Amino acid sequence: MSEPLNVLVLMSDEHNPKFLGCAGHPYIQTPNLDRLAAGGTRFSSAYTCSPICVPARAAFATGRYVHEIGFWDNADAYDGSVASWHHQLRGAGHDVVSIGKLHFRGRPGDDHGLSREMLPMHVIDSIGDVKGLVRERIPVRRGGEKMAKLAGPGESTYIRYDDQIATAACDWLAGAPARADGKPWVLFVSLVCPHFPLTAPTRWYEHYHALDLPLPKCYPHGERPRHPFTDEYARVVDYDTHFVDAAAVKRAVAGYSGLVSYMDEQVGRVLGALDASGQAGRTLVLYTSDHGDNLGARGLWGKSTMYEESAGVPMILSGPGVPQGHTVAEPVSHVDCATTILRAAGAPALEGAPGHDLADLARGGQPTRPVLSEYHAIGSTGGATMLRLGPWKYCHYVDHPAQLFHLGDDPEELTDLASDPGHARVLRDCHAALRRWLDPDEVDLRAKRRQRELLDGFGGREAALGRGDLGFTPAPGTGASFD
């Protein structure tokens, strides 16, 4: 086994994987992430385990798929009851420190496995978004108008929070000498940008707003594909209703683009501090995001869908032993991150975790686990499960027809082949492959049973719907902001 390494994990929030210079985006500026990719390996087909914050982060922490761990939605946050890579590292004597957003339950007595949590953001009131527990007769969520009006130049609490996170990370790296016992450290730096509100620093907003920005993909109403799952999500999370014209859409795209570049600046600060510490040569760096963002594509905003913009994530690995300037097209998953972190640091693996070491995959290793993404949350009446099988992307919906895309021929997912008789056999093969790993109907029932329990504990449907809409979790110290 190679010499154990320090590990620096950098996570953003809601970073559409297409919005990266090194991914070929035509105008986005991400020079620091581009340099990280040039010095390492970029995984061009990486996926979250769930395209919504709380279950995505629980799966990232535990290295397991959502149906295995049971943290289903934004009101069912990770509480430390399932072993995480944090627990494994701390148990093996490593310092494992987080700075920034965790989105765990955060109740007194919860042990998330970390040696120290700095500036943590957990779900509001240790409860989270209980309105998402309602999976029948789902009303339209309020707050879309507010989200539309916030798109533009300025300084949100999230921008200030990310500045605090990056500053704390730089300070920590400056004071993190190599330990006498040789134990590597692991630092998890978790930023909140480019998560909405789409309020971007003025200098970056004006830079992008001055460009001739195209409309999002398939944005005109006549070009939008129709599917009952995304139709229901768009009805419940009705942001697009409030982007009243092309100028409003442009403000949103410019705001999001500005937040991506601002986030990239914070990543650059942290990487600069790592270089200044003298430990970069013995540190593995992993960058990813908890999930993506549709950003207007097909008229959809936010996450919560299985399209590449939402279920896809950026993934970059750099450090000793990682091929430089390399791109891997083999699909990878957030479950691979826990395995990668633990192996790099020389800590024991998580028993039964399905992930592979991304460093091995970068060197040509072949995975045996599936790449899955699941959704059981806001705006859905039934569970959704995505499976990548070679170039095929199969999306199974408990209540609705399946979707099938050939990403090799159709990387923008413009043609759904599920109803094409010529692809009936592929559709059957993909469904059979999915069922070898899970039973979607059983998983859906299990998720809804847990959600009913949580809903009853909160006081029932009307109590949950009366709580109000939390447009975004408030940064620490800023107070709640219900619509």
Region 108-136 average pLDDT: 96
To which H or E segment does residue 8 belong?
A: strand 6-12
**Model confidence at 385: pLDDT above 60:** yes
Region 142-151 average pLDDT: 88
Q: Of the given ranges (278-292, 346-360, 443-457, 469-483), which has the lowest mean pLDDT?
A: 469-483
Region 418-447 average pLDDT: 98
pLDDT tens sequence across 70-84: 999 999 999 999 999
pLDDT tens sequence across 328-337: 999 999 999 9
Residue 30's pLDDT is: 98
pLDDT category at 479 given cuts 50, 70, 90 is: low
10 Å Cβ neighbour count for 242?
Answer: 17
pLDDT category at 394 given cuts 50, 70, 90 is: very high
pLDDT category at 482 given cuts 50, 70, 90 is: very low
**Model confidence at 301: pLDDT above 50:** yes
Nearest alpha-carbon partner for 384 in 232, 224, 194: 232
CATH code reported for the domain at 6-369: 3.40.720.10
pLDDT tens sequence across 9-65: 999 999 999 999 999 999 999 999 999 999 999 999 999 999 999 999 999 999 999
Residue 459's pLDDT is: 96
DSSP state of 282: G
Residue 467's pLDDT is: 87
Three-state SS at 33: helix
What span, in angstroms and rounded, lies between the C-alpha atoms of 131 and 138? Answer: 9
pLDDT category at 179 given cuts 50, 70, 90 is: confident
Residue 454's pLDDT is: 97
* Backbone dihedral region for residue 480 (phi beyond 0: left; psi -120 to 50: alpha; all else: beta): beta
**Model confidence at 478: pLDDT above 90:** no
pLDDT category at 468 given cuts 50, 70, 90 is: confident
Region 289-317 average pLDDT: 98
**Model confidence at 471: pLDDT above 90:** no
pLDDT category at 142 given cuts 50, 70, 90 is: confident
Residue 470's pLDDT is: 65
Task: Specify the amino acid at residue 413.
Answer: E
Region 377-403 average pLDDT: 97
166 CB-near residues (< 8 Å, 6+ apart): 189, 191, 266, 269, 270
Region 299-312 average pLDDT: 97
Residue 483's pLDDT is: 38
> What are the structure tokens assigned to 462, written together?
């009307």
Average pLDDT, the chain: 96
Say if residues 311 and 59 touch (Cβ distance below 8 Å).
Answer: no
Residue 126's pLDDT is: 94
Please, what's the b/e burial string for 407-427 (b: 16 or more CB within 10 A of its CB; e: otherwise)?
Answer: beeeeebeebbbeeeebeebb
User: For a pLDDT cut of 90, what percent of the chain falls above it?
Assistant: 93
